[in-house]
Chain A
Amino acid sequence: MATLRIDKLNKAYGDVQVLKDIELAISDGEFVVLVGPSGCGKSTLLRMIAGLDGVTSGDIHIGERRVTNLEPSQRKIAMVFQSYALYPHMNVRKNMTFGLKFSGMKQAEMDRRVAEAARMLRLDQLLERRPRELSGGQRQRVAIGRAIVREPDVFLFDEPLSNLDAALRVSTRVEIAKLHRLLGATMVYVTHDQTEAMTLADRIVVMNQGRVAQVGRPLDLYYTPANLFVAGFIGSPAMNFFDARVEKKGPGSVTLSGMAFKPFELAATSFAPAVGAKIKIGVRPEHLGSPTPTGFQLAGAVELVERLGETSYAYIRGGGETQVVAEIRGRDAPSAGQTVILGAPDRELHLFDEAGERIAAA
Chain B
Amino acid sequence: MRSKISAFGVHAVLTAYTFLAVAPILLVVMNSFKSRAAIFGAPVAPPSAATFSLIGYNKALGAAHVGWLFFNSIVVTLVSMGFVLLLGAMAAWALTEYKFRGSTLLALFLSIGVMVPIRLGSIAILTMMRNAHLNDTLIALILVYVAQGLPLSIFILSEFVEQIPKDLRDAARCDGVPETRIFFEVIAPLLRPAIATVAVFTIVPIWNDLWFPLILTSSDTTHTITLGVQQFLGQYVTDWNAVLAALSLAIVPVVVIYVIFSRQLIRGVTAGAVK
Closest to A149 in B: B175
| Contact A85/B171 with A130-B272, A131-B272, A163-B275 known, Cβ cut-off 8 Å | yes
Which residues of B sit under 8 angstroms from A78, Cβ to Cβ? 174-175
State which of A97-105, A247-255, A273-281 sits at the interface with chain B: A97-105
- B104 is an interface residue with CB less than 8 A from chain A: no
Task: Pick from B165, B173, B181, B271 the residue with the most CB of A within 10 Å.
Answer: B173
CA distance A95 to B120 in the complex (A): 49
Cβ contact within 8 Å between B270 and A88: yes
| Contact A89/B190 with A84-B275, A102-B181, A130-B272 known, Cβ cut-off 8 Å | yes
- B74 is an interface residue with CB less than 8 A from chain A: no
CA distance A99 to B172 in the complex (A): 7
Tell me the chain B residues, 241-275 only, with Cβ under 8 Å from chain A: 269-275
Which residue of B174, B185, B190, B274 is within 8 Å of A79 (Cβ)? B174
Which residues of B sit under 8 angstroms from A79, Cβ to Cβ? 170-171, 174
- B178 is an interface residue with CB less than 8 A from chain A: yes
Cβ contact within 8 Å between B273 and A131: yes
- B61 is an interface residue with CB less than 8 A from chain A: no
Q: Mark B163-195, 1 if CB is under 8 A from A, else 0.
A: 001011011111111100100011001100000
Which residue of B173, B186, B269 is within 8 Å of A73 (Cβ)? B173
Which residues of A sit under 8 angstroms from B272, Cβ to Cβ? 86, 88, 130-134, 139
Cβ contact within 8 Å between B176 and A99: yes
| Contact A98/B177 with A83-B274, A88-B272 known, Cβ cut-off 8 Å | yes
What's the minimum C-beta distance from B168 to chain A, rounded to whole angstroms?
5
CA distance A132 to B189 in the complex (A): 15
CA distance A78 to B175 in the complex (A): 7
Which residues of A sit under 8 angstroms from B174, Cβ to Cβ? 50-52, 72-73, 77-79, 99
What's the minimum C-beta distance from B171 to chain A, rounded to whole angstroms?
4
| Contact A88/B273 with A81-B171, A83-B167 known, Cβ cut-off 8 Å | yes
| Contact A88/B271 with A83-B167, A102-B181 known, Cβ cut-off 8 Å | yes
Which residues of A sit under 8 angstroms from B185, Cβ to Cβ? 98
Which residues of A sit under 8 angstroms from B170, Cβ to Cβ? 47, 50, 52, 72, 79, 81, 85
Cβ contact within 8 Å between B273 and A98: no
Which residues of B sit under 8 angstroms from A134, Cβ to Cβ? 272
What bracket does the count of chain A residues touching chain B fall in? Answer: 20 to 34
Cβ contact within 8 Å between A99 and B177: yes
Which residues of A sit under 8 angstroms from B190, Cβ to Cβ? 88-89
Tell me the chain A residues, 141-156 only, with Cβ under 8 Å from chain B: 146, 150
Q: Mark A77-121, 1 if CB is under 8 A from B, else 0.
A: 111011111111100000000110011000000000000000000
CA distance A85 to B168 in the complex (A): 5
Which residues of A sit under 8 angstroms from B172, Cβ to Cβ? 87, 98-99
What's the minimum C-beta distance from A312 to chain B, rounded to whole angstroms?
35
CA distance A233 to B177 in the complex (A): 39
What's the minimum C-beta distance from B176 to chain A, rounded to whole angstroms?
3
- A136 is an interface residue with CB less than 8 A from chain B: yes
CA distance A78 to B172 in the complex (A): 10
- A175 is an interface residue with CB less than 8 A from chain B: no
Q: Mark B139-168, 1 if CB is under 8 A from A, else 0.
A: 000000000000000000000000001011
- A71 is an interface residue with CB less than 8 A from chain B: yes
Cβ contact within 8 Å between A136 and B275: yes
Which residues of B sit under 8 angstroms from A74, Cβ to Cβ? 176
Which residues of A sit under 8 angstroms from B177, Cβ to Cβ? 73, 98-99, 102
Which residue of A52, A77, A87, A146 is within 8 Å of B168 (Cβ)? A87
Which residues of A sit under 8 angstroms from B173, Cβ to Cβ? 51-52, 71-73
Cβ contact within 8 Å between A88 and B269: yes
Cβ contact within 8 Å between B175 and A89: no
Cβ contact within 8 Å between A86 and B273: yes
Cβ contact within 8 Å between B165 and A83: yes
Which residues of B sit under 8 angstroms from A103, Cβ to Cβ? 176
CA distance A103 to B181 in the complex (A): 13
Which residues of A sit under 8 angstroms from B186, Cβ to Cβ? 87
CA distance A89 to B164 in the complex (A): 13
Task: Pick from A81, A82, A84, A85 the residue with the most CB of B within 10 Å.
Answer: A85
Cβ contact within 8 Å between A150 and B167: no
| Contact A150/B175 with A79-B170, A83-B167, A87-B168 known, Cβ cut-off 8 Å | yes
What's the minimum C-beta distance from A152 to chain B, rounded to whole angstroms?
9
Which residues of A sit under 8 angstroms from B274, Cβ to Cβ? 83-85
CA distance A73 to B169 in the complex (A): 12
Which residues of A sit under 8 angstroms from B168, Cβ to Cβ? 85, 87
Which residue of A47, A133, A146 is within 8 Å of B175 (Cβ)? A146
Chain B residues within CB distance 8 Å of chain A: 165, 167-168, 170-178, 181, 185-186, 189-190, 269-275
Chain A residues within CB distance 8 Å of chain B: 47, 50-52, 71-74, 77-79, 81-89, 98-99, 102-103, 130-134, 136, 139, 146, 150, 163
Q: Mind listing 6 A-B residue pairs with CB under 8 Å? A: A52-B170, A84-B273, A85-B168, A85-B274, A99-B174, A163-B275
The 8 A-B pairs of least Cβ separation, nearest first, read A132-B272, A99-B175, A73-B176, A88-B273, A85-B167, A85-B171, A83-B274, A131-B272
- Contacts A82-B167, A85-B274 known; 11 new A-B pairs at CB < 8 A: A51-B173, A71-B173, A78-B175, A79-B170, A86-B171, A86-B273, A89-B190, A98-B185, A131-B273, A134-B272, A136-B275
